[in-house]
Structure 1
Amino acid sequence: MKASDFNNLGIKPFNKGLSDLGNNIYCYLQPDGGWGWSNAGLIVDGDESLIVDTLFDEKLTEEMLESMKKAEPLGMKNICALINSHSNGDHCNGNNCVETKEIISSQATLEEMSHESPEMMAALIKQAPEMGPLGKYFLECFGSFNFEGVTKRLPNTTFSGETQRKVGDKIVELIEVGPAHTNGDVLVHVPSIRLFLLEIFYL
């Protein structure tokens, strides 16, 4: 199927980079979407923005942030909050790259973040060549990421159940649905346009 065929169906092709969902809301995608190639979101209203998730390492996150700044230069000057949808490193290892005072997650996500560290992943990458078929598979999945350059930054605001934030005039609802993919998964809902930003899909 050609890209034009997807467009005729109203479906956007799975290309790397920032996709405009309308109403100053974006998703950032990384083909092929396999192990570690996660997604993220951006919500903007006026001169404020909110980011949903970062990426598996700081280089990838910086690349993502640059594309967001090009799309929304005014809003990206004031990032009111960063949301971590869950504890896996491919959604929070780039937190330190985001210039914001508030990082929000569920309480369960914060507790679970201690179980997976960039240092652990970096050590496994070094050991993988001596681990036989398992090590080979591990490198195929994670060898493209630079875990040694990650400075872990944890959420400083947590909640359980539901909470809200405002981005400009947009109400953003944070809804805890874990245990699901992890113990503390959070969905991000923009009720004014009936849009959900999930850790895996955008609906």
Structure 2
Amino acid sequence: MKLLLVEDDAMLGAAMKRGLEKAGYVVDWAQDGDEALGGLSAQAYETVILDLSLPQVDGIEVLKRMRARRDTTPVIIVTARGRGDQKIDGLDAGADDYLVKPFDLDELLARIRAQIRRAEGRVNDVLRVKDVALDIGARLVRRGDAAVQLTAKELRVLDVLMRRAGRFVSKDDLENALYDAAGGVESNTIEVTIYALRKKLGTDFILTARGLGYMVGK
């Protein structure tokens, strides 16, 4: 799952990016409002974590412009502005949630999972396809009654495929789920990862169609 982190404080932003990536997310980090709007124009994200006190364009204006162009990406404001009227302004501008600094990373992660569940119409953090279950929050995979150990890349690819069960996912989309905007893409990463997943989850669990990509759930 890919997130956009919008935070101008270099130390805090770097720490948040590391924490979110450790939790299994791919994170693009924008350090001002213009950069955030540019990223949102070029890339789809599951959730935006948005500071309000930003250079160039402040967070409230970023949010208003998103909603004006009918961008419905969930937005969690994370800011030091904690007065009641400031929270109301943020929520009225179109934010889905509001978290005041300082905050606990685990709470932020729980709020991100809640926004993604809501956007996908799910009631919990477990995805199920055939006999495979993926607990998103715990990052655990089971096939039947047996636990399956996956690498970080394997988990990310499986996550994308299971969220889109019954639909083909292109190689480009899978690469996008593995790398942030600053990362280089290795040409055979997806093929190697799919091969490893088939060995662990069954050769018939992931289907391939030339020109379409990969699919689970059929």
TM-score, length of structure 2 as denominator length: 0.26
Q: Which has the higher helix share?
A: 2
Q: Which has the larger radius of gyration?
A: 2
